[in-house]
Amino acid sequence: MRLLPFAALTAVFPVVAMAADPHSYAQPDQVRVTHLDLDLTMDFAKRELAGSATLKLDWKEAKARSLVLDTRDLTIGRVEGVDPTGKTSPLPFVLAPRDKELGSKLTIQAPSHPASVRIVYTTSPQASGLQWLTPAQTADKKQPFMFSQSESIHARSWVPLQDSPAIRFTYDAHVSAPKGIRVAMSAINDATHPLDGDFRFDQPHPIPSYLLAIAAGDIAVKQTGPRSAVYAEPSVVGKAAHEFEDTEKLIETTEKLYGPYAWGRYDILVLPPSFPFGGMENPNMTFATPTVLVGDKSLVSLVSHELAHSWSGNLVTSAAWRDIWLNEGFTTYVQGRITEAVYGKTQADEEALLSARELQKTIGEMPENAQKLAPDPRGVGADDSLSSVAYDKGSWFLRTLEQRFGRDTFDAYLKGYFAHFAFQSIDTETMFAYLKANLLDKYPGKMSEAEARAWIWQPGIPKDAPLPSSPRFDAIDKERSAFLAGTLDASGLDAKGWNTQEWMYFLDRLPDVTPLDRIRALDDAWHLTGTPNAEIGMRWYAHAIAAGDKSVWPAAAEHMTRIGRLYLTTPLYRALAQTPDGLAFARATYAKAKSGYHPLTQQAVERILADGPKKTK
């Protein structure tokens, strides 16, 4: 099925009107940004981007007098209106005081409704959406490195814009950088571009602001397929290309399920270890953590996940952070289908069970409203919306739909859903209306509307939620129980052939505080301390710390210093912070590691350390 171009799609399916986004100052009912033209100069010494953003505008309200934009810690030099001939005229503006989360509202007086507005500005060295690394903080230690992380509402820290997922725009960019540095963006990238300091980019598809991305550094390129390549530092790129050599196969598999890949190329940029997330689905250029490079492809489901976002999230986008499960729940479901098709049902089922069991363990500790896929307004920050509920309960709901309606029927439905809402941002209510008309009502007796509503708008997990079976996990459960009971020695565990997921499952279901003798027996038999596998290491160190094994603290500190990914680092800070000695050690470790952490990781760790021993459980 051929996807229609955006203009044709919006003619058939008008953009859905949305309620105001509580995480943005923008007023899209008055005026919308439709295109962004960036002209930026990169200064590593000053740790800043400087230049201009020209916003093409679609005025919706004849009586509108101003354009309101989101900014955070930007220095605004001047603002000018640009008429269709290119003639400019100065526009008065007011930059409001800084709100801790939302930043500063920029109000530009524009009663004559200019076709475009140009803002000349400079970013702050402390921009929350940018990280500047010295050469010493990179893998090869030769050149500085910079990368962005715009999700959730951090694009406003490096571009003045309407920073809401409900607003989509195309963009082009001209970036000037030092010679010898490669610049990449969330657009089509040219692997053969000379490193001459002059880069141009074009993103012809409308994207939300959180998918605006930039990176620059000593970056080499290796092709992995006719429309895919890996970008990484020279010492990393070969290993990454081997790990991600199945990328074209993953793209083709997803196309067979859900329709053509709409973005042209799918490249992967492996960032330095300070990247705070596993991956970020920036269009055309996924940003990825190096922690998935373990040599055996056991963690390449991250690529399946970020690729799946090319349909669920990038093509069809949640209109507000409250609806983020429309991105992450759908994507986690599609990830499982890709993994099953390429790497087998066993691995896909194990990954689904891992996440489901962890959610079962933790969801009851959450406030009831946080347990809902579509929560009531709750006054939380945009970043806090990205919880395991959005990912794991959301995908569990879709797996339930697949089971009830049958895989063929559900595949056809989901393919139609992606085509129907392509290049649009929608809310949960819009999704549900489409679900009701095209699945629930079309195939009566499979799932009632009340059941579907309970999954979305009620807390918890329905009691009849189906789970896949895993004979290997069942065997691990028996071995774990025998090991904890003392009837099976650690060396007797049948773990030599366990894959990463199976080790994760074994460790995930140990008691929160495992007896110290059992922890030391495990380490003696299987040498888990010092593991290069970060997924296993995070779980192992957390258990060993909780058990009181101070001998692992130096290795845990090395893990915490080497890795800046939030998910793999903050659990160890939490484990250490449970005791006064551990908290002191965690603070000393953080003092050494802080300069290599992304601002988002710094904020998360500092909250843990500020809470103290009694408040971090």
Q: What is the pLDDT of residues 345-389, one digit of tens each?
A: 999 999 999 999 999 999 999 999 999 999 998 777 788 878 999
Per-residue pLDDT at 611: 85
* pLDDT band at 6; cut points 50, 70, 90: very low
φ and ψ of 426, to 5 deg: -135, 165
Q: Give me the architecture of the 221-310 domain, per CATH.
A: 2-Layer Sandwich (3.30)
Q: pLDDT confidence of 19, banded at 50, 70, 90?
A: low
DSSP state of 106: E
pLDDT tens string 20-30: 899 999 999 99
Q: Check: CATH 2.60.40.1730 for 25-218? A: yes
Q: What is the pLDDT of residues 285-311, one digit of tens each?
A: 999 999 999 888 888 899 999 999 999
Task: Output the pLDDT for position 299.
Answer: 86
Q: Is the entire prediction scored with pTM above 0.95?
A: no
Q: Are 434 and 413 contacting, i.e. CB atoms less than 8 angstroms apart?
A: no
Instruction: Please check whether the two domains, 25-218 and 471-611, share a CATH topology.
Output: no
Q: What is the mean pLDDT of residues 10-14?
A: 36
Would you say residue 537 has pLDDT above 80?
yes
Name which CATH class applies to 471-611.
mainly alpha
Confidence grade of residue 4 (pLDDT, cut at 50, 70, 90): very low
Q: What whole-number distance in Å separates Cα of residue 433 and Cα of residue 446?
A: 17
Distance CA 605, CA 94 (A): 34
Question: Is residue 353 within a helix (H) or strand (E), and if so which, with residue range?
Answer: helix 345-362
Is the pLDDT score of 514 beyond 70?
yes
pLDDT digits (tens, 9 = 90+) for 248-294: 999 999 999 999 999 999 999 999 999 999 999 999 999 999 999 98
Mean pLDDT value across residues 427-456:
98
Which tokens in the block code for residue 233?
A: 């530092």
Report the candidate in 35, 39, 34 with the shortest Cα–Cα distance to residue 173.
39
pLDDT in tens, 309-348: 999 999 999 999 999 999 999 999 999 999 999 999 999 9
Point out the least confidently predicted range of 17-21, 229-233, 445-449, 454-458.
Answer: 17-21
Question: Mean pLDDT, to the nearest integer, of 182-205?
Answer: 97
Three-state SS annotation for 212-267: CCEEEECCEEEEEECCEEEEECHHHHHHHHHHCCCHHHHHHHHHHHHCCCCCCCCE
Domain boundaries, the chain: 25-218, 221-310, 320-457, 471-611
Active site residues: 306, 391
Provide mean pLDDT across the span 141-170.
97
Average pLDDT over residues 450-456: 98
The DSSP symbol for 295 reads: S
Residue-level pLDDT at 613: 76
Q: What's the rounded mean pLDDT across residues 489-515?
A: 96
Per-residue model confidence (pLDDT) at position 329: 98
Average pLDDT of the chain? 94
170: enclosing H helix or E strand: strand 168-176
- In this prediction, residue 440 has a pLDDT band, given cuts at 50, 70 and 90, of very high
Give the architecture (CATH level 2) of 320-457.
Orthogonal Bundle (1.10)
φ/ψ region of 141 (left if φ > 0, alpha if ψ in -120 to 50, else beta) reads left
CA–CA separation, 353 and 369 (whole Å) = 24
Mean pLDDT, range 595-612, rounded to an integer: 92
Q: Is residue 71 within 8 Å of 106, Cβ to Cβ?
A: yes
Number of CB atoms found within 10 A of residue 353's CB: 18
Buried (b) or exposed (e) across 266-300, using 16+ Cβ within 10 A?
bbbbbbbbbbbbbbbbbbbbbbbbbbbbbeebbbb
As given in the structure block, the two tokens for residue 218 are 């000593």
For the segment 82-97, the average pLDDT, to the nearest whole number, is 96
Closest CA to 131 of 189, 214, 55: 214
